[in-house]
Structure 1
């Protein structure tokens, strides 16, 4: 997002300067009676170029609110202010500015992508994927938007896969016979722990440095299962605690 904000700010500066050079007009905030002059975008351009976020918010905000500001100048000032808000972690305000930009000009692929990145940071994946998709549709060659769309699509696929197995253990509950297995099947938290333990055991055995280490790792898991089966239901035995400790032992203190 920060790279996008910087790019948008540079677009603002270059476009404004180009417009000024092309027209040969120096805009002023004051005027003679009856003279129809536009608002001056100069301070907003300068603040954005200097990466002075507080100043950008102040002076670009004044330009945005100025009824004499042209639509292109207002759009560029909104983009600059949105970037400043983002860098100051004021995400909701940045999104609001991108909302206004896209109402004024819905064809801006970079603005869709930038807003999508903000939605993603807020955890709103559906809105993020819609913005990334819109950006790619508007500009199929936008590498940043394409990468964002692809990575979020994969993330959503993984989440969907995880949701499909949530609350399900590593074994078929229809074939559960032991009391401990039935208890795991009846408790989604225990079922998730069981699945994580088996998956982590598989990973550590697969990544073992040699066959002997792999056999030792698998033996430790088999011993845990045997102890779990034998001790479940006895006074003082906490199945969830035992499973959590087993998972931590497999993955280590850092969780891997």
Structure 2
């Protein structure tokens, strides 16, 4: 009877120990599954602090045009891997605008380009980068960015004005390129040696065309028929001297043409 009672007691004790071990194991699993801050709190430790990247100093320095403060404050945001995407874009745009105001064009373009790689729907940034490309003299890239801004926002006033102005400028450049190296007369009909020389030299051909264009302008601006006739006689005299002087020792065709262009346009070039 005593042995039976002892056996039951041993079984109860073993079951109780297994139950306690199960409770401890379950508690350990639960702690592992909790976030770090909650785990520390549950074990009596201090909650883990969540790092917040403060963008305010960067935006304030950029808005205040404080380059020195903005460099460090914005770098703290931009170079921090924990910065939220939205804040990173704001910091890049703010610093890019600051660089642009201080004529640091390449740095401004770099910041705007990175911002656009993160969010290609920013019409204002496309327009701003287009204006920067224009400062660098890269007109095709400027037009491309202005066009991208208008595609995103057809009512973007600055982009519309910029795109329109650039389209006209490119049209003008295209027209100039179309006649580059071509004189004011038809080279297929050139008979004189001086005309053939002009047709065979791009610089002389451009000079001839400029002389002709400037001559027509001053004729149109003449205050009276008598003044217009006087201007035409001067041009006829120049052509006659050019034709007779070409090929003679000491005659410099290029200099003669440059002198005539300056005579028509005046010392100030107009």
* Aligned twin of 1:138: 152
* Aligned twin of 1:157: 171
* Aligned twin of 1:36: 50
- Does structure 2 retain, via aligned residues, the 8 Å contact 1:132–1:145? yes
- Does structure 1 retain, via aligned residues, the 8 Å contact 2:63–2:94? no
* Aligned twin of 2:135: 121
Equivalence map 1:62-211=2 (5 Å): 62-211=76-225
What is the aligned counterpart of 1:59 among 73, 78, 81?
73
When normalised by structure 2's length, the TM-score is 0.81
Whole-angstrom CA distance in 1 between matches of 2:189 and 2:232 = 23
Whole-angstrom CA distance in 2 between matches of 1:107 and 1:55 = 29
- Does structure 2 retain, via aligned residues, the 8 Å contact 1:57–1:84? no
SS of residue matched to 1:112: helix
Whole-angstrom CA distance in 2 between matches of 1:49 and 1:83 = 9
- In the superposition, relative to structure 1, how do residues 34 and 252 fare at CA in structure 2: closer, same or farther (>3 Å)? same
How many aligned residue pairs are there?
A: 225
Whole-angstrom CA distance in 2 between matches of 1:119 and 1:213 = 46
- In the superposition, relative to structure 1, how do residues 165 and 214 fare at CA in structure 2: closer, same or farther (>3 Å)? same
SS of residue matched to 2:74: helix
- What is the CA-CA distance between 1:108 and the residue it aligns to? 0.3
Whole-angstrom CA distance in 1 between matches of 2:47 and 2:83 = 18
- What is the CA-CA distance between 1:88 and the residue it aligns to? 2.1
Whole-angstrom CA distance in 1 between matches of 2:183 and 2:47 = 79
The one-character-per-residue Cα deviations of 1:125-146 (angstroms, maximum 9, x if unpaired) are: 2211111100000001100001
Whole-angstrom CA distance in 2 between matches of 1:253 and 1:191 = 22
What is the aligned counterpart of 2:242 among 224, 228, 236?
228
Extract structure 1 runs of 4+ deviating beyond 4 A. Answer: none
- What is the CA-CA distance between 1:33 and the residue it aligns to? 5.5
Name the larger-Rg structure: 2
Whole-angstrom CA distance in 2 between matches of 1:208 and 1:33 = 88
- What is the CA-CA distance between 1:213 and the residue it aligns to? 1.2
- What is the CA-CA distance between 1:53 and the residue it aligns to? 2.5
Whole-angstrom CA distance in 1 between matches of 2:97 and 2:268 = 36
Equivalence map 1:3-22=2 (5 Å): none
- In the superposition, relative to structure 1, how do residues 217 and 33 fare at CA in structure 2: closer, same or farther (>3 Å)? farther
Whole-angstrom CA distance in 1 between matches of 2:114 and 2:168 = 30
CA RMSD of aligned residues (A): 1.2
- Does structure 2 retain, via aligned residues, the 8 Å contact 1:197–1:247? yes
The one-character-per-residue Cα deviations of 1:74-93 (angstroms, maximum 9, x if unpaired) are: 11111111111112221111
More deviation, 59-68/163-172: 59-68
When normalised by structure 1's length, the TM-score is 0.85
Unaligned runs of 5+ in 2: 1-45
